[in-house]
Amino acid sequence: MNMSSTLKDPLITPRRKRILTALCSGMPDRPPIAFDSHGNTMDAVYRHYGVADKNGLFLKTGVDGFSVWEWNAVMGRYKGKSRMAEDGTALDFWGNSSQHHYGLFDCDSIEALMAHSWPRMEDFDFSHVHARALEIKRMDMVVSAGHIGLGYQIHNMLRGNEKALFDVCDPDFMSAYMGKMEDFTLAYLRRLLEAGHGEIEVVRADDDVGTMDRLMISPEMWRRYYKPAWNRAFDLVHSHGAKVWMHSCGYIWPLLEDLIEIGVDCWNPFPPYVHDNEHERLRNFRRGRLVLDGGVSQMVLINGSAADVRKETLRVLDMFAPDGGLLIGPSQVFTEDISSDNIVAFFDTVLAWRK
């Protein structure tokens, strides 16, 4: 199912139509609201509106609540053997645990990479994916899936930053490493998309490769090692009629043209305070070429007043919404240090805006 036929789907309802229109670079009645949140950040907001959860918020107010990560995301279920570090810390199927344990930390040679116990397809169950995707559609939401990690971010997470930086100076090691990563990731992605039978509409990818003002590796290294793998993954996503939504929250300007070239459809979160992300410049660069998700400054959301948030939200709306292809949200996520008044001010400003 391609995206143009998706827009004619009998399961299209107002929220889905608004989100899909924006993801196709169009301009709906207003930009859809997209956000994730940490911890209990939203509890006071839900009380303000008299609702219990994110879907209740949509039903009462129209706040779309698009996410590629929360309840509307389908992924393969890991059914393999549980993994645990020597100190008792639970590990994911990579052998990772939140920057304390790195799954490939000891793989310092090609021989060690080859001997490593890599994730296997038989350790994942995809039997639920299609039914869950249809259920998400019936709840008036776009079906997302993922997430894909083939860039420097997952490399950093698997090896630790210091070792990853040494790795990219060894072409033979990188060839072996990227070969193993791509073998697993493309096999997983193919099984996931096939299990969805055309119902998966957006696939999340992540590559935080930049700090606030520079890349952690050179553009040439990124293009040499990671870009070809990303390209093949994005081609696979598009072959199943889905869009590519990519998160990269640091400095990424030197790679934006590359990302568009290889098939990124939507970029999140385009924070205005990161070097070279000046929104006026970005508006001219991306017009008709790249959908945006996010944009409202985290700094204003955290430190500003409700009036400041309204002003910042209107700035982003007026800057990008007329060109279409905007899903508006925070330039990260709603964190515990953002007041409920500021989140409410953001929501109410977007809901009142019309093209």
Could you tell me the residue ranges of all domains in the chain?
A: 3-352
**Is pLDDT at 198 greater than 50 in this prediction?**
yes
Mean pLDDT score, 266-284:
97
Tokens of 136: 């998400």
**Is pLDDT at 7 greater than 50 in this prediction?**
no
Confidence at residue 11, expressed as pLDDT on a 0 to 100 scale: 43
Q: Report the alpha-carbon distance of residue 266 to residue 247 in Å, rounded.
A: 9
**Structure-token match 């001010």, residue found:** 345
Confidence at residue 100, expressed as pLDDT on a 0 to 100 scale: 83
Exposed, middle or buried, 110 (CB in 10 Å: 0-12/13-18/19+)? Answer: middle
Describe the crossing of helices 253-262 and 227-239 by its angle, rounded to 10 degrees.
40
**Is pLDDT at 25 greater than 80 in this prediction?**
yes
**Is pLDDT at 2 greater than 70 in this prediction?**
no
| Mean model confidence pLDDT for the chain | 95
Confidence at residue 98, expressed as pLDDT on a 0 to 100 scale: 78
**Is pLDDT at 316 greater than 80 in this prediction?**
yes
Mean pLDDT score, 110-115:
98
pLDDT range class, residue 13, cuts 50, 70, 90: low
**Is pLDDT at 6 greater than 60 in this prediction?**
no
Among 78-87, 110-119, 163-172, which stretch is predicted with the lowest mean pLDDT?
78-87
Mean pLDDT score, 263-268:
98
Confidence at residue 12, expressed as pLDDT on a 0 to 100 scale: 43
Exposed, middle or buried, 307 (CB in 10 Å: 0-12/13-18/19+)? Answer: exposed
Confidence at residue 1, expressed as pLDDT on a 0 to 100 scale: 46
Mean pLDDT score, 306-318:
98
Q: Provide the 10 A C-beta neighbour count for residue 332.
A: 21
Question: Which CATH entry fits the domain spanning 3-352: 2.60.40.10, 3.40.50.300, 2.40.160.10, 3.20.20.210?
Answer: 3.20.20.210
Confidence at residue 5, expressed as pLDDT on a 0 to 100 scale: 45
For 328, phi then psi, to 5°, come to -95, 140
Mean pLDDT score, 192-203:
98
Mean pLDDT score, 232-244:
98
Confidence at residue 217, expressed as pLDDT on a 0 to 100 scale: 98
Confidence at residue 355, expressed as pLDDT on a 0 to 100 scale: 73
Q: What is the pLDDT of residues 32-51, one digit of tens each?
A: 999 999 999 999 999 999 99
**Is pLDDT at 8 greater than 80 in this prediction?**
no
- Which pTM was predicted? 0.94
Exposed, middle or buried, 162 (CB in 10 Å: 0-12/13-18/19+)? Answer: exposed
Mean pLDDT score, 111-136:
97
CA-closest candidate to residue 92, choices 70, 126, 124, 129: 124
